[in-house]
Amino acid sequence: MAESRNKARSRNIDNTGFGQNSSVEGGRLVNRDGTTNVKKRGLPFWQRVSFYHTLLRMKRSHFFLVIVLFYTAVNIIFAAIYFAIGVDHLSGISSSASLFDEVSAAFFFSSQTLTTVGYGHVAPHGFLTNLVASTESLLGILAFAVVTGLIYGRFSRPRAFLAFSDVMLIAPYKEGRALMLRLATYKNNHLTDAEAQLTLALHVTENGKVVTRFFPLPLEISKINSLALSWTLVHYITEDSPIYSYTAGELHHAKVEVIVYIKAFDDHFSNTVQQRTSYTHNQLVYGAKFLPMFERAADGDYTLLELDKIGAHELVELKEPVLT
């Protein structure tokens, strides 16, 4: 009944880029980190994946782990080649050295060649060994140029650095209710001209088939001049809202998902930054309000923003709408 009542009030949109057939959806549409919850196939792996984008977006610990593993693997491969040619073609290695000493000497000679350090203690002689060493030196120059570019790209890539509350609330607002979520910058960057857009995904039954309908959620304030403190996004649930007649149980049954899109201007980068996230019905708290997350400092000289309280809330009594 809720779906049919809201159908006349709210006009759904179909330009979100997501399909409307709920039967082919898997879980949420957008992940918490803003990526789409889609796995692609039908083409070879190397055509489906951009390694450049993957290396730019992966976690810092994973990125440096990949570099270490790549460096180690290349040295092992070239050390095996030198050992296969014969360590007697590497001057500076004792003829009475043990197998372990020979293997380790070939490995460390490879690392010195790859990094073009060349201490001179061990040197190649013979055409084949010099050819391999020259090839490795060229590979090392190219590899370190690529790694340097990736590190700079990761360091200089504009990011919004926004933290979102881990829950969205249906809270008392004015004479009725509102859907609310909260965000704030967690770095020492400053965002200006910040804009927010919310899109609601509802799973409804039409003609015996479950489909996904998308609705824009108008905000009380959709743009602010400066995001210095926290920002609570408020969608006032009026009679024109697509979720006006929904109860807590109906919202969960409809598997609501709210897709959040934030765009702002970063003064330090002198560039526009954006960030996305989404909230599912499992993150919805019906009948609650956010607790304050900033206050005046003890000495009164500045405002203290407590980021660990971004999702802090308390349960409150909620007035249900009167349906006509």
Q: For residue 35, give the amino acid letter.
A: T
pLDDT tens-digit map of 181-233: 999 999 988 999 999 999 999 988 878 788 888 999 999 999 999 999 999 99
**What pairing do the DSSP bridges indicate for beta strands 90-91 and 284-286?**
unpaired
Tell me the CA distances in angstroms from 238 to 5, 6, 174, 234, 242, one per residue in order. 13, 11, 11, 12, 9
- Average pLDDT of every residue of the chain: 87
Domain boundaries, the chain: 2-38+159-315, 48-156
Predicted local confidence at residue 72, as pLDDT? 95
Residue 65: CB partners within 8 Å, gap ≥ 6? Answer: none
pLDDT band at 5 (very low <50, low <70, confident <90, very high): very low
Integer Cα distance of 255 and 234 in angstroms? 20
Task: Say if residues 229 and 184 touch (Cβ distance below 8 Å).
Answer: yes
Question: Is a pLDDT exceeding 60 seen at residue 7?
Answer: no
Q: For position 310, what pLDDT does the model report?
A: 95
User: What is the predicted pLDDT for the residue at 268?
Assistant: 82
Q: Extract the tokens encoding 91.
A: 């001057």
- Of these ranges, 104-113, 119-128, 153-162, 223-232, the one predicted with the greatest mean pLDDT is 223-232
139 or 99, greater pLDDT: 139
Angstrom distance (rounded) from CA 275 to CA 219: 18
The CA-CA-CA angle for residues 192, 18, 311, to 5°, reads 45
d(C-alpha 214, C-alpha 297), whole Å: 43
Percent of the chain with pLDDT over 90: 50
16 has pLDDT over 80: no
Q: Considering the entire predicted model, what is its pTM?
A: 0.80
Tell me which of 4 and 111 has the higher pLDDT. Answer: 111
**What CA–CA distance (Å, rounded) separates 233 from 198?**
9
Top CATH class, 2-38+159-315: mainly beta
**C-alpha to C-alpha distances, 182 to 232, 234, 278, nearest whole angstrom:** 4, 9, 12
For the cut 50, the answer to whether the pLDDT of residue 161 exceeds it is yes
In the block, residue with structure tokens 């709920």: 22
Distance CA 290, CA 168 (A): 9
What pLDDT does 92 receive?
77
How does residue 9 score in pLDDT terms, banded at 50, 70 and 90? low
- Residue 22 pLDDT level (bands cut at 50, 70, 90): low
DSSP strands (E only) in the chain: 90-91, 123-124, 162-164, 168-173, 176-185, 191-206, 209-216, 223-226, 231-236, 257-266, 271-280, 284-286, 288-290, 294-296, 303-305, 313-315
pLDDT at 323: 59
Topology of domain 48-156, CATH: Helix Hairpins (1.10.287)
